[in-house]
Amino acid sequence: MAVVTVRPAGAGANTAFPSITGGGGVHWVVVSDNTNTTYIRNNVAANREDDFTLGSSGLTTETITSIDVRAACRSEGTANASITLGLRLSGTNSLAAAHTAIPTSDTNYTDLAIARPGGGSWTVADLSTLQVAVIGNMLTSTGLRVFEVYVDINYTAGGSTGQAKVWNGSSFVAKPVKVWNGSSFVTKPLKRWNGTSWVVTPY
């Protein structure tokens, strides 16, 4: 299994954290870096949500096995603020359990294998509209600072689309692999022996 990390790249459905430090006043900018000097801040005792679109993963035919959300934050004053992390797809949030009693020192949180909003399995097609959701509440502290948010996409190599590559005289080009099924030619995936079994070979 491999992993690719994607960071916020734009404003999502909600931009409700009351204040911001740095980033020219743009919320997604301050949480896409890895410094604690720029941040979004919630200084009210109520849930406030910021959502962010994500940069390109570069994935195409891979199989997504899970998606994790990570954030770095801290309470101000007393260690009582809370943060909830999740993912947003097609207007629906899928949220992990809240992290409470956040320390007043920089603290990293990770929520593994966030469920796909609406159910089912993740697909590469989901990534183009996927957003990361951050919900903060200062509770009895004097504020919550969130200075980094990012997403880890865990995946395995993509399967064959029934194509191989052949030399056309100047370059290799993809060509469909077809076999006769008794009545017509149908596309079939290519497979190779990995020492124990036949597995689909990506091309």
Domain 2-156 matching CATH 2.60.120.260: the answer reads yes
H-state helical runs in the chain: 27-31
**Phi and psi at residue 83, to the nearest 5°:** -140, 140
pLDDT given for residue 203 in this prediction: 45
* Cα–Cα distance, 31 to 134 (Å, whole number): 11
**Can you give the residue ranges of every domain in the chain?**
2-156, 163-200
* Cα–Cα distance, 29 to 40 (Å, whole number): 10
pLDDT one digit per residue (tens) for the chain, 203 residues:
799 999 999 999 999 999 999 999 999 999 999 899 999 999 999 999 999 999 999 999 899 999 999 999 999 999 999 999 999 999 999 999 999 999 999 999 999 999 999 999 999 999 999 999 999 999 999 999 999 999 999 999 875 444 556 667 766 666 666 667 777 777 666 565 656 666 665 54
What is the radius of gyration, based on Cα positions, of the chain?
22
Q: Tell me if 4 sits within 8 A of 60, measured CB to CB.
A: no
pLDDT given for residue 181 in this prediction: 73
Predicted TM-score (pTM) of this structure: 0.78
Inter-CA distances, 97 with 19, 85, 129, 155, 203, Å: 24, 8, 23, 24, 40
How are beta strands 163-167 and 8-15 bridged, if at all? Answer: unpaired
